[in-house]
């Protein structure tokens, strides 16, 4: 694996493991916005249109979102570095948000795990 490929895989792993401890989601008819505790929001179109994020140090991340039934699916591809898919779904009682994360790295390697966010208390 070249140094550039290693860097791209590091970028992919950062997408996977640098999840915000709190998440705010705002939805409109045509888009879904995700904001972590840092305040920076990611706006995705729910029709699958691609958004490209520039990454400091090279490479781009191509992101697209789409509704799949009641779940919102976000796909992120790091140029030359793998793919991360996040499936956002609410628990049956609506009190938690599950994020099922799938990582496809290449050479047939894959990883899947789940993040769980508790709903905010009503104010």
Residue-range domain boundaries for the chain: 3-118
Torsion angle, CA of 71/99/73/51, rounded to 10 degrees? Answer: 140
Instruction: Specify the pLDDT at position 106.
Output: 65
pLDDT at residue 2 in the model: 73
Output the pLDDT for position 22. 86
Which regions of the chain are under pLDDT 70?
A: 1, 5, 15, 39, 56-59, 106-108, 121-123
Distance CA 98, CA 12 (A): 20
- At residue 86, the pLDDT reads 92
What pLDDT does 74 receive? 93
What is the pTM (predicted TM-score) of this model? 0.82
Q: What is the dihedral of CA 12, 15, 17, 19, to 10 degrees?
A: 180
Fold of 3-118: Lipocalin (2.40.128)
Name 65's Cβ contacts closer than 8 Å, sequence gap at least 6: 32, 44, 45, 46, 48, 72, 73, 74, 75
pLDDT at position 83, please? 84
């Amino acid at each position: 694996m070249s140094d550039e490929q290693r860097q791209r895989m590091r970028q992919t792993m950062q997408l996977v493991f640098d999840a915000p401890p709190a998440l705010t989601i705002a939805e409109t008819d045509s888009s879904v916005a995700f904001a972590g505790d840092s305040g920076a929001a990611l706006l995705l179109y729910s029709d699958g249109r691609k958004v490209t994020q520039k990454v400091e140090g090279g490479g781009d991340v191509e992101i697209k979102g789409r509704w799949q039934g009641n779940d919102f699916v976000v796909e992120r591809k790091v140029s030359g570095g793998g793919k991360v898919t996040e499936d956002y779904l609410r628990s049956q009682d609506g009190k938690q948000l599950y994020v099922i994360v799938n990582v496809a790295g290449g050479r047939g390697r894959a990883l899947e795990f789940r993040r769980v966010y508790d709903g905010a208390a009503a104010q």
